[in-house]
A and B are shown apart, each in its own frame.
Chain A
Amino acid sequence: MENFNILIHFDYTLMIVTIGAALLGAVSGSLGTYAVLRRQSLLGDAISHAALPGIAIAFLLTGSKAPLILVLGAAIAGWLGTLLIMSVVRLTRIKYDSALGIVLSTFFGFGLVLHTLIQRTGNANQAGLDTFLFGQAATILARDILTIGVLGGIAIVITFIFWKELKLLVFDDGFAASLGFPIRALDILLTSLLVIAIVLGLQAVGAVLMSAMLVAPAVAARQWTNKLSVMMLLAACFGALAGVSGTIISSTASRIPTGPTIVLCATVVVGFSIAFASNRGLLWDWLRQQRNRRNLKMTEQPQQGND
């Protein structure tokens, strides 16, 4: 009965948080499409961890905890980490996964060092490490929704402007290079867009789970379509769906953290899509196999009669 009440009296805070989570899900879902298609699903994990020293340095330099300053620091650090990954892969024989692992863990370690430095100064105005790791969806305010909407909107509009170029980069970068498209610049552009999506999401779901917000909606969307535009739209819808349902579920009972619930909702959407998607899904595949087997039997029988 109590749960029912909460659903009916949709209070203002919950509404703000739900809208914020939905927007975040939509932005990270649609931008995550590119990461998943390029087999860089774990780049989000690396960027979100690599953002920690940026937040700490921004705090150490300015002494302020204003979201915009910390977000800027996070974006710069995440972006530098990605550039390092790209150049290590390009210049050495170290593979993508190892470069990602090194940057992810060591940047985070450096952030931890800076964090202990901040703690030692005894500054009461500390940048919370827990918030960074797990996010605090409950702290989303109306002005955060504006930030998410504007920055996320800009990022998505940029993908529309460079639609043809990015599509070519994702599906056949060698061909794109041979046509004279500036591959490395496009790569950096796409990565910068990812950095924006990730940094926006850090506050709500935290560093550890941010990668799932990029990957899960896109993977689910991939099962339903073979078209990039449809996939991006579906991923945005799935991301928003996960954001809304996760927020509402976690609000119905006490002590269920929002971020992890959103991630589990997204995982459920993926599971459903893999099982039941038309054409690609497991059920569909099984049905097709059964039908093929039946057809094979039907064509076999008359032949036996002829013999």
Chain B
Amino acid sequence: MLQSQLEIQLIAIVTAVACALPGVFLVLRRMTLMSDAISHAILPGIVLAFFLTENLSSPLLIVAAAGTGVLTVVFVELLQRTKLVKEDAAIGLTFPALFSIGVILISRFAGNVHLDMDAVLLGELAYAPLNRLETFGYDLGPASLYVMGTILLLNLVFILLFYKELKLATFDASLAATLGFAPTIIHYGLMTLVSVTTVGAFDAVGSILVVALIAGPPATAYLMTDELSRMLILSAVIGCVNAVSGYWLAFLFDVSIAGSIATVTLLVFGLIFMVVPNRGLIAIARRRSRQKWEFAQTMLVIHLFNHEGLPEAEAESEIAHLHEHLRWDPTFATQVVRYALNNRCVLQKETQLTLTQQGRTIAQQALVQ
């Protein structure tokens, strides 16, 4: 493995984890699309800072962009507070407007200056190691690794320090407000963090795919656990897996790394969505079919129980006529009888069914309920 390959993967992993951690709270707070809005709306901030500094790697760019990100959040909240616009529409109005200003600024004034729209929107991880951090002539490694590393550290410290507050504000904002935890401050703190993370990550993966890193792993982890701390760890792990496997797939097929990571994110989400115990598609399908048979079996034993010991019992428990009494399809009735026989709820005596003790209990319980 070449050094540049190792560096790209390291950057991808650090970026993925840095995005996944605040992403967990966005997913839980139903604000995932704020990351989409922020990642687009930071464009005018970047452009203006670029006009001032004429340097794409200036730290002022990150500050200006993060400022614009927070401004976006403020705009959305202000629009919502007029009570004339709902939250989703407020987001849908704010970021295209800011983004449009950015695009117009670029095409009107940037002209020949090197500020490529594709680079902003799509990013290119493969070029990330080219921009290196050098001090006193020593090569310290790719600059974006340091940028994303710092952001990751910032996110970790924020979440560890304010874990309790974040948890409370996420799951019960009104209780948090009653107890004096100031959910608004936590909200803006989190949003600042998301802005900074998005700005840092857009350099590597572009503004649209940042959303895949922020929403994908936490949503996948959300399918797997009920515990906030476990969800944080799981999303970080899933983020790493997606990043590394996405990189190697991109290497294999010689395609865009960021796009490949996003594709793997979808595949992993789909896989977990299918197979996760209890909540997955397969589990849901199996539970539904089991419930169908169990319900039919309960119907059968209740029918038998109702007529047990009565004069008409002989006619009512005739296997060949069951489907008429229960208004079932004949083949379905046969299958239900087989299911009930297997579960030892009924016994077959020649052409008739009788209840076992177990079947009787089920019928009694069902009737009491």
Contact = CB atoms under 8 A, between A and B. Distances in A.
A98 B82 contact: no
Interface residues of B, number: 63
Given A92-B279, A113-B263, A263-B100, A102 B85 contact: no
B258 interface: yes
Given A39-B86, A98-B215, 4 more contacts: A98-B32, A101-B211, A105-B211, A116-B255
A104 B211 contact: yes
Nearest to A94: B219
B93 A270 contact: yes
B108 interface: yes
A14 B187 CA distance: 47
A101 B279 contact: no
Contacts of B122: 112
A77 interface: no
A209 B100 CA distance: 8
Contacts of B85: 219, 274
Interface residues of A, number: 65
Contact of B279 (A42, A93, A103, A282): A93
B88 A93 contact: no
B365 to A, nearest CB: 30
Interface in A126-164: 129-130, 133-134
Interface string A81-123: 0000000100111111111111111111111110111001000
Interface stretch (A22-30, A174-182, A232-240, A253-261): A253-261
A247 interface: no
A113 B260 contact: yes
B214 interface: yes
Given A109-B261, A116-B255, A116-B256, A261 B104 contact: yes
B33 A42 contact: yes
Contacts of B97: 212, 263-264, 267
Interface string B91-113: 11100110111011001100100
B45 interface: no
Contacts of A264: 97, 100-101, 104
A95 B262 contact: no
A88 B91 CA distance: 22
A222 B121 CA distance: 32
B253 A117 contact: yes
- Ranked 9 nearest A-B pairs via Cβ: A109-B262, A112-B259, A212-B96, A260-B100, A106-B266, A105-B212, A101-B215, A105-B211, A215-B92
Contacts of B258: 109, 112
A193 to B, nearest CB: 18
Contacts of B255: 112-113, 116-117, 120
Given A49-B208, A105-B208, A91 B281 contact: yes
B263 A106 contact: yes
Contact of A255 (B31, B107, B256): B107
B60 to A, nearest CB: 24
21 contacts: A39-B86, A40-B88, A94-B27, A98-B32, A100-B33, A101-B35, A102-B215, A105-B211, A106-B266, A108-B209, A109-B258, A110-B263, A116-B255, A116-B256, A216-B93, A256-B104, A260-B103, A263-B97, A267-B93, A274-B84, A282-B82
A39 B89 CA distance: 7
Contacts, number: 207
Given A44-B92, A106-B262, A267-B93, A97 B31 contact: yes
A108 B122 CA distance: 10
Interface string A42-75: 1011000100000000000000000000000000
B84 A223 contact: yes
A130 B118 contact: yes
A15 B71 CA distance: 38
B223 interface: yes
A94 B31 contact: no
Contacts of A212: 92-93, 96-97, 100
A101 B108 CA distance: 31
A78 B35 CA distance: 21
Nearest to B109: A255
A222 B88 CA distance: 14
A280 interface: yes
Interface string B249-280: 01001111011111101100100010000010
B89 A36 contact: yes
Interface in B200-253: 208-212, 214-216, 218-219, 222-223, 250, 253
A102 B265 contact: yes
B93 A102 contact: no
A208 B258 CA distance: 18
A108 B258 CA distance: 10
B176 interface: no
A153 B265 CA distance: 38
A255 B106 CA distance: 9
A203 interface: no
Contacts of B250: 113
A42 B92 contact: yes
B36 A129 contact: no
A191 interface: no
B284 interface: yes
A209 B33 contact: no
A210 to B, nearest CB: 9
